């Protein structure tokens, strides 16, 4: 039925206007090398056609008409349930939610879910009043008591009914990231009950309102770390500098600009954190003087006096408690191991990620990364080029072991 070497994702589409977004999700999954199968409920076909999803997935899309026809050597719901590595239901409607919560199976999608054992990702979407109904929330919470089910938060905004509020379907890139996490972890939640604090992006040290000393960091690595930790069950707080991406649903975000602001935020949230990952590219120096008004070009100083900024990670290392894990990043050129090892020891870190910024598809601004991870026990992990989300998961796999 399929290539066993490929990752296999079954997408169940519920009946809601948000079903149109699933087209992008299915297309992106296929382009990323994932084998995709799609099941549409009867209601879903009123919003998007099986032909559309069959074309995007390069495989016939299944409906209840297929379920009730004896055209397969084995029951279709059994075959699909055993085939899938991950099942994602998007949009999850109130109707399908209620069926799953009570173990009901009256169509191909619900029968397939009950005939499977893989992780199931739920991405609900509905009108705000529907989503906030006591019965719907009760079904939602009841279903999530089953460790197989992984629930995505709904987004808030303008809905198709012109209501502004909660109930929007998570955007396809966010659903895709969660799917990729589940394919890596197979649904394990080894960070459940843990509080993870992550810094992300590059600080900016202004010498007037429009000019600053900065660096090329985009915060994509911090974003991937936040997503990976969230998907593994953690409560995540992210202290992030200006970025072009949206904060993942379910992550508490603290926006900062300068190293001083990042220091203040990190020290505030540090005492309650179990795992701290300092992935932000923090400036080493800042302008000594600041002008509250934009300096005319003719008034720009020929020499810019500088002064050091706080060494945030060293401060965290000094105050770290025995139960806390503190992980740093070292973006380097040339020899990446030696300076990382020195930083690991001098900053009192539990582990450090040494990543080269002079290699193709690696470092600042890239969607991919590579690294050598060192820990205080002397262990090393080489992470070959991969997506930043995959690197985040490999890092967590490494540091969680024996801790």
Say if residues 229 and 198 touch (Cβ distance below 8 Å): yes
| Domain 195-400: assigned CATH number | 3.40.50.10300
- Domains 8-185 and 195-400 belong to one CATH topology: yes
d(CA 238, CA 241): 10
Rounded Cα gap, residues 236 and 230, in angstroms: 6
Indicate if 161 belongs to the active site: yes
Res. 1: pLDDT tops 50: no
Q: Is the pLDDT of residue 191 over 60?
A: yes
**What percentage of the chain exceeds 90 in pLDDT?**
79
Query: What pLDDT shows up at residue 4?
Result: 52
Radius of gyration of the chain (CA): 24
Q: In 3D, which of 27, 76, 30 has the Cα closest to residue 48?
A: 27
Token pair of 335 as six digits: 């020899």
First-last CA distance in the chain: 41
Q: Residue 62, class by beta-carbon neighbours within 10 Å (0-12 exposed, 13-18 middle, 19+ buried)?
A: buried
Q: In what order do the strands lie in the sheet with 275-278?
A: 252-255, 235-240, 195-200, 275-278, 325-332, 351-356, 368-375, 380-387
- Domain spans in the chain, listed from the N-terminal domain onward: 8-185, 195-400
Write down the pLDDT at residue 332: 85
- The CATH code for residues 8-185 is 3.40.50.1950
Active-site residue identified among 23, 118, 161, 241: 161
* φ, ψ of residue 161 in degrees (nearest 5): -85, 5
> Averaged over 110-127, what is the pLDDT?
97
Q: Report the pLDDT value the prediction gives residue 71, as an integer from 0 to 100.
A: 65
Q: Which residue has the higher pLDDT, 363 or 265?
A: 265
Cβ pair 266, 318 in contact under 8 A: no
């Amino acid at each position: 039925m399929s290539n066993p070497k490929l990752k296999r994702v079954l997408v169940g589409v519920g009946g809601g206007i948000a079903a149109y977004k699933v087209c992008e999700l299915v297309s992106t999954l296929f382009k990323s090398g994932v084998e995709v199968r799609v099941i549409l409920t009867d209601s879903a076909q009123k919003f998007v056609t099986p032909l559309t999803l069959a074309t995007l997935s390069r495989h016939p899309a299944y409906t209840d008409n297929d379920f009730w026809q004896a055209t397969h050597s084995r029951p279709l719901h059994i075959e699909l349930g055993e085939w899938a590595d991950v099942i994602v239901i998007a949009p999850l409607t109130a109707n399908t939610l209620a069926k799953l919560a009570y173990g009901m199976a009256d169509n191909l999608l619900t029968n397939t879910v009950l005939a499977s054992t893989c992780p199931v990702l739920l991405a609900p979407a509905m009108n705000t009043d529907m989503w906030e109904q006591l019965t719907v929330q009760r079904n939602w919470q009841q279903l999530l008591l089953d460790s197989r089910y992984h629930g995505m938060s709904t987004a808030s905004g303008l809905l198709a009914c012109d209501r502004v509020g909660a109930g929007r379907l998570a955007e396809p890139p966010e659903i895709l990231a969660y799917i990729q996490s589940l394919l890596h972890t197979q649904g394990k939640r080894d960070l459940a009950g843990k509080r993870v604090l992550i810094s992300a992006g590059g600080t900016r040290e202004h010498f007037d309102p429009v000019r600053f000393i900065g660096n090329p960091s985009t915060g994509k690595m911090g974003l991937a770390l936040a997503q990976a930790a969230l998907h593994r069950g953690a409560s995540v707080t992210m202290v992030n500098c200006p970025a072009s991406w949206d904060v993942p649903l379910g992550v508490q975000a603290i926006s900062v600009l300068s190293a001083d602001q990042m220091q203040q935020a990190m020290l505030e949230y540090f005492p309650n954190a179990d795992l701290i990952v300092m992935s932000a590219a923090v400036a080493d120096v800042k302008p000594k003087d600041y002008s509250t008004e934009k300096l005319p070009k003719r008034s720009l100083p020929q020499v810019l006096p500088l002064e050091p900024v706080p060494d945030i990670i060293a401060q965290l290392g000094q105050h770290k408690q025995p139960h806390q894990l503190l992980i740093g990043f070292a973006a380097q050129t040339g020899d990446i191991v030696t300076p990382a090892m020195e930083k690991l020891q001098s900053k009192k870190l539990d582990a450090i990620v040494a990543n080269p910024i002079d290699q193709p598809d690696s470092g600042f601004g890239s969607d991919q990364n590579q690294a050598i991870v060192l820990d205080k026990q002397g262990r090393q992990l080489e992470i070959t080029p991969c997506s930043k989300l995959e690197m985040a998961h490999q890092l967590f796999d490494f540091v969680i072991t024996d801790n």
